[in-house]
Chain A
């Protein structure tokens, strides 16, 4: 780990001023559950690390306009234990508890979950974000059992966020604050496809901080997350689906279905969403929606099994949200 300067500002403005406008020179530290390992592996070699845990305004969950405003440094555990979150957003609670390490839930933050770097093992072994060697990606014919079935060449990694699919399904926004002020974006627009190994997978500017997550009211919105994980102990989901259903009686008026861990960004399953509108959910329809959710998938050499996992994740998330037995 290269020596670095450590700063612990107490305001967002101060923090933003400490960040460089160039990637690679500074890093934002919150829970540190990803950044520290990135630094130990020399994947990030910042000259300065800016700790934002000391900024009071970035903590806490508060009710606002029928919805919630979640501070970026709220821990995964605080999120999962929060009474208003538990009351209306079971999909967020499921996703948070899917991080089955108490240590990571206690240290890791909501903002960090959204901003963490991909777990792609080619990236983590130093072949760059896109896993490129001698001008070609190592991934399509390589060891890709945990990679994307919705690849977006040159990106084959999967978005690692546990919370993003649920937040997108719920219509949440993120607030990004930089030197020029703040902007709000739907969570799905936080992520982008990098052009090359030197680009990033989010639209964050190097000197911008994700400061807040704004979640609209989910009153009357049935929501759930289902993750397929091999292990009960800490393990990345092989596939995940978050759903949010607006219901009229037993009829779905509109559905949001977002897939996690299957593409370089969370994948919105539009075809599946559309086929559910105006229908009453049952096991068959949920299974059909699962099939529709992967209709555009292009699996790699070793990961076609994730198609089936994704179909099941969608089916089970829908059944769970609707309160039906899968």
Chain B
């Protein structure tokens, strides 16, 4: 059996190169076609009718006027009379028509008789949620009462992080064409292999009937795995129309209202500690919502899981709001924010440097990552010039602009998922690899080409990468930062298997046994004897008319050392706060990220940049605002659902922790981990700047001014 191990770090020729992404030019110039760009002959457009009430029962629904509007093809009722609607934005009916405008006009002609019922959409004040509170029961470890009694110091705070909504630039949706036994499906998906069977199951047809195709996706972030109500109804509309293709993408307001959110988390946290900063006990009362499912216990205390004495009480709150979905590092940014804020408040109370307090307590972190955290805290401090620029809580400098720095930490898994790759070497020397995977914009295509090229001794541009189609061998959906580990490992195995076959074919002509051959620099040669070689083309010619077709798998239960899981990360934010206006500006965000073997440092850094930008949004501006009375999302748009622009992000400084000892661990996913610590770091930086904790993120001017006002009047 071939040795699939990654070549040693210093001998790699393609892996580790900073190539720009293969589809970068296509994306930048608009040549790349997303599925929302798909325009099929005879295509119909669809539009959804969504419920304007946060809780209602449908007494009756009359679609006759809509159905008669010229241009309308069909109207389908999703929730019929008697049905209960649990949040504003829930899908009630869907219309297909010759144009999107006609479809939307028709939606307005559907008459629905709603019995409006009581709703509850706000969870920030736990005393006001009544029977919507679902306590999860108390969890106690050790003896927290004793620890608090004996504590040399205690520190207390309340912290809140609101619901965020998904806001992919390409909204959810699909083009779908259901003709006879064949369903051609162009969804915006993170799950090229898995979404076909999901649609098929919902339509009660065999999975083999669904053909999925997607070249590019305009963002997913955890929200695009299933076929969704709109995909299922889209297929039925197509069937209604005799197989004409039907396009249906959510508009921005529906997208932000129902296409998935990240649950909120609120907590009162109390810490007990020794005077030297050693934490001895943790007590928290937390609550959260992600819609009618409530919200689970946050992962607190985060990273420092082994604090010996703990009492945790959590309450899930059911709200009449759109449902939660995975959102880039589910539960982690909230937990990091809650934990790191509480620890920084303790450090401030002790008059200690928070980096010291984190270091002091690192023994509570999982053993495998402790040294990494210590290294990263030091590295981040060095990059931030912490020893010179950090000050105790409250910038005492003159003028209204205050500066501050703060730290946050993260952890993540990121092991490679199940993935199969098929590698083909053709007699003309061309090479293709096929995977039923997807490139979420992370550079998956490029990474696959580098792995294949490394194995075959070719330049990465010589490898044709085929992904984005469910006729290729299956790969799992891209969630949990599992893709890079999965596809790089399966590609490594498949191309290695193919190369072995090629070695067998050419070995006789080189007068050697296959195990003595290697593929380097576009040649097949006898190891250590460059005089005995064939060019790649000459070697492949020996295949005659028969291509080599080999597969390879990544099996998560036995990844052969090619990928693994478990990362640490530290981020430091450096902010300025205008204490007269409460406006916070990010100056620098320093991200030190542990990541295992990096296939392409440029693309990896790009992941971290994007993650940091999302953290800055979450820390300073991003928030779903619900209206208590109407039960509606007030800001389902990109006007008041605020996201950062280039001028809002400051300098982002990325340090990938590429060291041989990390590299040896194999490939680890990087999509999620760098999006975790930034909110915590920013909140701590603002507290450090202005001398008081802004308890709730995002730290908008009203909240910053309120915290300053409360400090003045205290």
List residues of chain A with CB within 8 A of the CB of B640: 121, 146
Number of A-B contacts (CB under 8 A): 81
**Interface presence of B101 (CB below 8 A):** yes
**Interface presence of B642 (CB below 8 A):** yes
- Interface band, chain B: 20 to 34
Contact of B648 among A127, A143, A233 (CB under 8 A): A233
Instruction: Please give me the residue from chain A that is nearest to B399 by CB atom.
Output: A326
List residues of chain B with CB within 8 A of the CB of A229: 583
A307 to chain B, nearest CB (A): 10
Q: A1-B101, A232-B645, A233-B648 are in contact. Are A145 and B627 (CB under 8 A)?
A: no
List residues of chain A with CB within 8 A of the CB of B632: 125
A125 to B635, CA, bound (A): 10
The reply to whether B642 and A230 form a contact with Cβ atoms under 8 Å apart is yes
**Interface presence of A189 (CB below 8 A):** no
List residues of chain B with CB within 8 A of the CB of A231: 621, 642, 644-645, 647-648
List residues of chain B with CB within 8 A of the CB of A2: 101, 105
Main secondary structure on chain B at its contact with chain A?
Answer: loop
Contact of B583 among A1, A133, A145, A230 (CB under 8 A): A230
List residues 590-640 of chain B with CB under 8 A from any CB of chain A.
Answer: 620-621, 625-630, 632, 634-635, 637, 639-640
Stretch at the interface among B201-209, B279-287, B561-569, B698-706: B698-706
Q: A125-B634, A143-B627 are in contact. Are A228 and B581 (CB under 8 A)?
A: yes
Instruction: Please give me the residue from chain A that is nearest to B704 by CB atom.
Output: A305
List residues 77-116 of chain B with CB under 8 A from any CB of chain A.
Answer: 101, 104-105, 108
The digit string for A215-245, where 1 denotes a CB below 8 A from any CB of B, is 0000000000000111111111010000000
A88 to chain B, nearest CB (A): 28
The reply to whether B582 and A305 form a contact with Cβ atoms under 8 Å apart is yes
List residues of chain B with CB within 8 A of the CB of A142: 627-630
**Interface presence of B660 (CB below 8 A):** no
**Interface presence of A42 (CB below 8 A):** yes
Instruction: Please give me the residue from chain B that is nearest to A302 by CB atom.
Output: B702
The reply to whether B642 and A235 form a contact with Cβ atoms under 8 Å apart is yes
A222 to B630, CA, bound (A): 46
A293 to B41, CA, bound (A): 62
Q: A119-B639, A142-B628, A302-B702 are in contact. Are A233 and B104 (CB under 8 A)?
A: no
**Interface presence of A176 (CB below 8 A):** no
**Interface presence of A80 (CB below 8 A):** no
**Interface presence of B150 (CB below 8 A):** no
The reply to whether A233 and B581 form a contact with Cβ atoms under 8 Å apart is no
The reply to whether B642 and A308 form a contact with Cβ atoms under 8 Å apart is no
**Interface presence of B276 (CB below 8 A):** no
List residues of chain B with CB within 8 A of the CB of A146: 640
Contact of B580 among A125, A145, A312 (CB under 8 A): A312
A305 to B578, CA, bound (A): 14
Instruction: Please give me the residue from chain A that is nearest to B108 by CB atom.
Output: A42
A146 to B101, CA, bound (A): 31
Instruction: Please give me the residue from chain A that is nearest to B645 by CB atom.
Output: A233
List residues of chain A with CB within 8 A of the CB of B625: 143
The reply to whether B621 and A138 form a contact with Cβ atoms under 8 Å apart is no
9 closest A-B pairs by CB: A233-B645, A232-B647, A305-B702, A312-B580, A121-B634, A305-B705, A143-B634, A1-B101, A143-B627
Given contacts A42-B108, A141-B629, 7 further A-B contacts (CB under 8 A): A2-B105, A143-B626, A230-B701, A231-B644, A233-B644, A305-B705, A309-B582
Task: Sample 29 A-B pairs with CB under 8 A, ordered by A number.
Answer: A1-B105, A2-B105, A3-B105, A100-B645, A100-B647, A119-B639, A125-B634, A142-B627, A142-B629, A143-B626, A145-B702, A146-B640, A229-B583, A230-B583, A230-B621, A230-B700, A230-B701, A231-B642, A232-B645, A233-B644, A233-B645, A233-B647, A235-B642, A236-B639, A303-B702, A305-B701, A305-B706, A312-B580, A312-B581
Give residues in A with beta carbon < 8 Å to B: 1-3, 42, 100, 119, 121, 124-125, 127, 133, 138, 141-143, 145-146, 228-236, 238, 302-303, 305, 308-309, 312
